[in-house]
Structure 1
């Protein structure tokens, strides 16, 4: 039996806006097992961003169950939630969220600064290892300004890996990239997934979803589709088949 990394059951999220109650998520249920590569899709107002914030322990559900790696997040203290975010979740954002005056290696070390298990030498070693894994072993001392958009996203991916999280949570991680660079990044995600990483990728781009093995579609706070992708596209092949630019 595969291990369940994320378990969502009858989950609701409501917001009070003035005198009105907004029902962002309306009792949704699903589970994600270890080693899955899942895309979550939905148009604006579907509940996708609310779902992402709950998955990332940045927000709490109003009702229902959210468990990550067997831990129920309900009633956890702020410190306990921060610890889960740091040790169990690797975050990747559309805008990279790198510190501008800081080298690639220092950006990748950041999550480890809050992890008492590692000393300075171990932090550096793990950061170098993560950067090599994403193909940036030659760019350790470059700042974001000295890197292309794709390379900056690779630094962000290395940072998400450095704490060996149980799940990587990517929010529109190809949204700022051109097609070629997007496919390069998706090829990297597919390689990480082959190595056993569990990935949840939030996107509005239909072609990006074809690279994952399962797609969940949200609409008006409900899941309207949750299906396995039987024809997974190979991102490296898709990249090779792109027309050559002059």
Structure 2
């Protein structure tokens, strides 16, 4: 029986805008099992980004509980949360969030600088292995401005993997990419999921969500629908079906 990696119960989040209270999450219950590839869907204002920020320990809920890998987040100090975030979570963002004057290799090494148990040689070896795993062995000494958007997103994925997290959290990770590059990134994420990685993928694109194994749909701070993905799309097959681009 698979392990529950994420469990949230009656999760609430309120924001205060002047005298107005905005209820972004209104008592959400959700469980994610180890090895799942879950898409969190919803339009702008549905609560999906707020949910991701709480899952990523970037924000705290107003009410309810969040348990990550058997640890209750509500009982941790700010420093403990930062340490857990660095060791158990990997992040992939729409805008890549790479340091511009830093090579791909140095960008991937960055999370390991916050881990005092990892020496410089191991840090370099793990970063190289992560870049190799995303097909960028020949780009590790390039700066972000020397790489395409798809290559930069692969660097971001390598960076998310370098600490061997229990969950990868992706926020609109294909939002800035064209169709072919989006499929390439989804193929990579599907490969990682096949290798056992648990992935939570926030998107507003229903076609991209068909590459995942389960869809969770948010509206007005509630989950309105959860369902397994039937007839799941395979990104590599979709790539092969695209017309060949002319130079």
Same fold (TM over 0.5): yes
State the match for 1:144 in structure 2. 144
Whether 1:68 aligns to 2:88 is no
SS at match of 1:230: coil
Distance, in Å, in 2 between the alignment partners of 1:166 and 1:223 is 24
Q: List runs of 5+ in structure 2 lacking aligned partners.
A: none
1:39-86 CA distances to partner (integer Å, 9 max, x unpaired)?
001001101111011011011111111011111111421101101110
Q: List runs of 5+ in structure 1 lacking aligned partners.
A: none
Distance, in Å, in 2 between the alignment partners of 1:146 and 1:42 is 34
State the match for 2:231 in structure 1. 231
State the match for 1:21 in structure 2. 21
Distance, in Å, in 1 between the alignment partners of 2:233 and 2:49 is 26
State the match for 1:177 in structure 2. 177
CA RMSD of aligned residues (A): 0.7
State the match for 1:12 in structure 2. 12
Q: Where do residues 1-246 of structure 1 align in structure 2 (5 Å cutoff)? A: 1-246=1-246
Q: TM-score normalized by structure 1? A: 0.99
Which stretch shows the higher mean deviation, 74-83 or 88-97? 74-83
Structure 1 moving runs of 4+ over 6 Å: none
SS at match of 2:110: helix
Q: TM-score normalized by structure 2? A: 0.98
Distance, in Å, in 1 between the alignment partners of 2:102 and 2:23 is 41
SS at match of 1:168: strand
SS at match of 1:138: helix
Distance, in Å, in 2 between the alignment partners of 1:37 and 1:49 is 17
Distance, in Å, in 1 between the alignment partners of 2:101 and 2:20 is 44
1:2-44 CA distances to partner (integer Å, 9 max, x unpaired)?
1111001111111122212111100010100000000001001
Cα offset, 1:230, TM superposition: 2.0
1:165-198 CA distances to partner (integer Å, 9 max, x unpaired)?
0000000000000000000000000000000000
Distance, in Å, in 2 between the alignment partners of 1:16 and 1:241 is 48
Equivalences, count:
246
Distance, in Å, in 2 between the alignment partners of 1:245 and 1:104 is 27
1:75-121 CA distances to partner (integer Å, 9 max, x unpaired)?
42110110111000000000000011111100000000000111000
SS at match of 1:74: helix
Distance, in Å, in 1 between the alignment partners of 2:213 and 2:136 is 27
SS at match of 1:15: strand
